[in-house]
Amino acid sequence: MTSTDSALRDALFGLMAYRELTTFERLSSDARFSPRLADRAELARLAVTEFEHFELVCAELVAAGRDPQEAMEPFVEHIDGLHERTRPGDWYESLMKAYVLDAVAADVYRVLGVRIGVHADRVARRIQELDAQAEWLTGRLKADLDDERLRSRLALWGRRLMGEALTRSRSLLATTEFGTLLTADEEKELFATLVRHHAQRMSALGLTA
């Protein structure tokens, strides 16, 4: 790895670390408002998975001689902004947020990872986990989606989440260390992929994207 490559790798790990830490915090706060005690535990488990991954990524940064706090800082504003603009109103919106945004994160990690050349390790494992999680979330959400009002509320919420995620991803790619990483074509390709995958995930729930 050249020093540019390793700086980019550390930036990707910083992004992953901060996103996972904040997702942990938000999900576990939301857990309290779950309909049943069992649901609280499920959302909490999801949150803990995010934290465990945060710790693994931090350990890799430390092993590379980097301070995780420093590596995370460039992403604080982006990620905090995304969370602020996507505060779930209840437990279902919280699940949906995890379902939509984790998937966007997995796609962004994947593309940046391939481009930087770290796809084979930590990033790939994380993407696999996120995919498994999405499968669980699909099942959990579908179980309650015969309620028509909930369906239309979540369809709307899904569009809102995706809109915010796209805006934030665009500004992330424009203003951080990843700024010059993707060519204009690659960026277009990434956004097209994000939108296509989102539509697939919504129809997996029987919702319109």
Question: Which positions lie near its own copies, rule CB under 8 A?
Answer: 18, 21-22, 24-25, 28-29, 31-32, 36-38, 40-41, 44-45, 47-48, 51-52, 54-55, 58, 68-69, 72-73, 76
Least Cα distance to 92 among 135, 143, 166 occurs for 143
CB 97 within 8 A of CB 88: yes
Rounded to the nearest 5°, which phi and psi values hold at 176? Answer: -105, -170
CB closer to its own copies, 38 vs 143: 38
Q: Rounded to whole angstroms, how far apart are CA atoms 110 and 129?
A: 13
For the bound state, the minimum distance from the C-beta of residue 14 to its own copies, rounded and expressed in Å, comes to 10
Token code pair at residue 157: 């919420």
CB closer to its own copies, 26 vs 198: 26
CB closer to its own copies, 24 vs 107: 24
CB closer to its own copies, 48 vs 195: 48
For the bound state, the minimum distance from the C-beta of residue 6 to its own copies, rounded and expressed in Å, comes to 21
What's the half-sphere exposure (Cβ side, CA atoms, 13 Å) at 205? Answer: 32
